[in-house]
Amino acid sequence: MMKRFHEALSSLRLKGLLRQRRTVEGPQGPLMVVDGVPLLSFASNDYLGLANHSALIQAAHKALDQYGVGAGASALISGHSSAVDELEVALAEWLGYERALHFSTGYMANMGIIPALVGEGAAVFSDALNHACLIDGIRLSAAGSVNVYRHVDMAHLEQLLQESHAAEKWIITDGVFSMDGDIAPMVDLLSLAERFDAQIIMDDAHGLGVLGLEGRGTLAHLGLVSPRIVYMATLGKAAGVFGAFVAGTQDIVNWLEQRARTYMFTTGSPPVLAAAAWASIECIRRDEFRREHLRALGQQLQLGLGGQTPIRGLTPLYSQTAIHPILVGDNASVMRISAALQARGIWVPAIRPPTVPEGQARLRISLSAAHSTDQVEQLITALRALA
């Protein structure tokens, strides 16, 4: 039995699929000391540069003095702090929903809300590139059928909806896809949902804070409002903290409070995290300049990599978000390029299967409002020198 794990690990190593974590010293930022080496990082989801912002740190210090560290129990027993309550109210008000419910993490949120909402025997329609925790949430549900449609392929989704005889239908999608950086076609998804009387669960982990007026996310970016859409997002990426939430109508959120098992049977988050997230929302709403700078950096990168003289072997994917993937293809090449960048002092993670489909290994460049145009220029120069 133990031998099996040893052999499986060796096989991963041979295939270039062994994952290795790096140890980061100090706070998040463009310049980080990684395994003892200073690197210019394009590896973080801290898209707005808030993870080490003084307003969040001050709010956290204050909350530590006020609330201490642990929440002591699950939210429904005695662990629901007034700091979390205030955060939920702020989230609902910011995003225009009747109510929001806080979860410890995005992974927990999706593992809780999908099984709680999807009724027994319902048909689920899931984008092929959905995040792992949406897939796991669907696996935990009592869905009668799971229909995976080709990535953002609305004709395929329409066909699957047409063929389904289920009385209850749920379409589940990322708002911004985490490894491709593209935005889900929510306008078309919503009109299909209306036509086939389906509900939608949208995970906006990479859209919140980055897109839309006041950083309200993918739906605001597209000008969409609909009671059919259950909105879920995380607070560990652009918001720079930790945690997640779901927002929707009173009935939906009240039901989740009663039935989402990852909400009910876990210790409440430390109030300090909610207080920091509350401060983060203030910055996100107010500081339009962070989003403007992030967009400008994205355009600079896209122009620098593509344009008239594409780089041989590297295919940048078009992106309007903070995620700028460059398709490479095979695992060995992407590892080689990532290592060559690192030798030049630049950290761009190589993303391999199973995070992306076989043969679609890629560099995943994450930009942050904390990057300077000079730093992005350094990255472009380094990538061009590798070609």
Catalytic amino acids? 178, 206, 237
325 is a contact residue toward ligand PLP (CB under 6 A) = no
206 is a contact residue toward ligand PLP (CB under 6 A) = yes
What CA–CA distance (Å, rounded) separates 274 from 285? 17
212 is a contact residue toward ligand PLP (CB under 6 A) = no
CB of 229 to ligand PLP, least distance (A): 15
337 is a contact residue toward ligand PLP (CB under 6 A) = no
CB of 345 to ligand PLP, least distance (A): 27
Site mask, ligand PLP, residues 75-114, x = CB under 6 A?
A: ------------------------------xxx-------
203 is a contact residue toward ligand PLP (CB under 6 A) = yes
205 is a contact residue toward ligand PLP (CB under 6 A) = yes
Q: Comparing C-alpha atoms, which of 347, 353, 351, 373 is closest to residue 362?
A: 351
CB of 112 to ligand PLP, least distance (A): 12
**Number of residues counted as binding ligand PLP (CB under 6 A):** 13
Q: Which residue has the tokens 């950290």?
A: 347
Measured in degrees and rounded to the nearest 5, phi and psi for residue 124 equal -110, 140
CB of 148 to ligand PLP, least distance (A): 16
Cα–Cα distances in angstroms (integers) from residue 34 to residues 312, 351, 383, in the given order: 29, 18, 20
CB of 308 to ligand PLP, least distance (A): 33
Between 275 and 322, whose beta carbon lies closer to ligand PLP? 322
Cα–Cα distances in angstroms (integers) from residue 166 to residues 134, 162, 194, 252, 259, in the given order: 20, 10, 15, 21, 23
Between 184 and 314, whose beta carbon lies closer to ligand PLP? 184
Which residues are CB-neighbours of 109 under 8 A, at least 6 positions away?
A: 103, 133, 232, 234, 244, 245, 246, 260, 262
217 is a contact residue toward ligand PLP (CB under 6 A) = no
244 is a contact residue toward ligand PLP (CB under 6 A) = yes
Between 206 and 352, whose beta carbon lies closer to ligand PLP? 206
Question: Residue 292 has which token pair?
Answer: 């403007």
Query: What is the bridge-based pairing of β-strands 361-366 and 323-329?
Result: antiparallel
* In contact, 278 and 87? CB cutoff 8 Å: yes
What CA–CA distance (Å, rounded) separates 122 from 142? 8
Residues 119-158 that bind ligand PLP (CB under 6 A): 131, 133
Stretch that binds ligand PLP, among 93-101, 198-206, 276-284, 373-381 (CB under 6 A): 198-206
Q: Is the peptide bond before 354 cis (omega within 30 degrees of 0)?
A: yes
Stretch that binds ligand PLP, among 81-89, 203-211, 248-256, 344-352 (CB under 6 A): 203-211
* In contact, 273 and 241? CB cutoff 8 Å: yes
Output the CA angle 175-59-44, nearest 5 degrees.
40
Stretch that binds ligand PLP, among 75-83, 162-170, 201-209, 363-371 (CB under 6 A): 201-209
Q: Comparing C-alpha atoms, which of 374, 351, 381, 331 is closest to residue 14?
A: 331
* Residues of the shown chain interacting with ligand PLP in the complex, contacts defined by CB under 6 A: 105-107, 131, 133, 174, 178, 203, 205-206, 234, 236, 244
